[in-house]
Amino acid sequence: DAGVIQSPRHEVTEMGQEVTLRCKPISGHNSLFWYRQTMMRGLELLIYFNNNVPIDDSGMPEDRFSAKMPNASFSTLKIQPSEPRDSAVYFCASSFFQAGTDTQYFGPGTRLTVL
Amino acid sequence: AQSVSQHNHHVILSEAASLELGCNYSYGGTVNLFWYVQYPGQHLQLLLKYFSGDPLVKGIKGFEAEFIKSKFSFNLRKPSVQWSDTAEYFCAVRGTYKYIFGTGTRLKVLA
């Protein structure tokens, strides 16, 4: 299995621009998670999908952030407009949720720099 | 509230030294516990996990962890570290569906 795939691996953009991060979960997994990692705040859960439905988006920092999962094999995290404080590494993780014994597998991350 | 505490933020060891990283959790239900490792510039990788059964769990690369329910702890151990173990280590507890991660411990192994 190829594991969780994220693109792009690096993104540099200017303040105010729209940024779209992409994630392909492991085939067969039914849960998908978006995390943000910064030095100051560590690893933060942004949003969680189960069977393509957003279950918990309480970690999404503000309305500038949105996430979609149109099907079981693809998810996007969009930031519009982007700000310098959004600079971080964004990880996608997936798991097969079954009776509370799932294990999350992380993608390689997207390093976002907003100038 | 669910929480995970990793008390050691930075650890420096010489090669061949023994390692123990502390992890304490707070969660009222059945716990699933994990240790992940993040090598410099890379993503989180699963080291080991505990769901039930033998409280001493063996993972990859010679790591092990012991679940002590009475102490709400899940400490990570390795008898002899190598330079290649330099990384950041995260403990996590799984709640209803969320993973609650600790703040991480940065390990530096001196050659």
Q: Mind listing the pLDDT tens digit for each residue in B54-84?
A: 999 999 999 999 999 999 999 999 999 999 9
Mean pLDDT of A50-79: 94
**Per-residue confidence (pLDDT) for residue A100, from 0 to 100:** 62
Contact in structure between B40 and B27 (CB atoms under 8 Å) = no
Mean pLDDT of A45-58: 93
**Per-residue confidence (pLDDT) for residue A61, from 0 to 100:** 87
**Per-residue confidence (pLDDT) for residue B94, from 0 to 100:** 86
Question: C-alpha angle with apex B98: A98 to A90, nearest 5 degrees?
Answer: 115
Place of tokens 């609650």: B100
pLDDT at A39 over 90: no
Give the number of residues written for chain A.
Answer: 115
Contact in structure between B74 and B63 (CB atoms under 8 Å) = no
Q: Token pair of B19, please?
A: 């390692």
Residue of B nearest to A91 (CA): B43
Q: Token pair of A31, please?
A: 């849960």
Structure confidence at residue A99 as a pLDDT band (50, 70, 90) = low
pLDDT at A98 over 80: no
Helix (H) or strand (E) holding A66: strand A65-71
Q: Look at A11-15, A54-58, A89-93, B76-80 and tell me which has the smallest mean pLDDT.
A: A54-58
Task: Outline where B1-111 has alpha helix (H).
Answer: none
Query: In angstroms, what separates the C-alpha of B49 from chain A's closest C-alpha?
Result: 8
Of A28, A104, A66, nearest in space to B97 by CA: A104
- Of A40 and B48, the structure prediction assigns the larger pLDDT to B48
Structure confidence at residue B95 as a pLDDT band (50, 70, 90) = confident
Which chain A residues have a beta carbon less than 8 Å from that of B98? 45, 48, 56
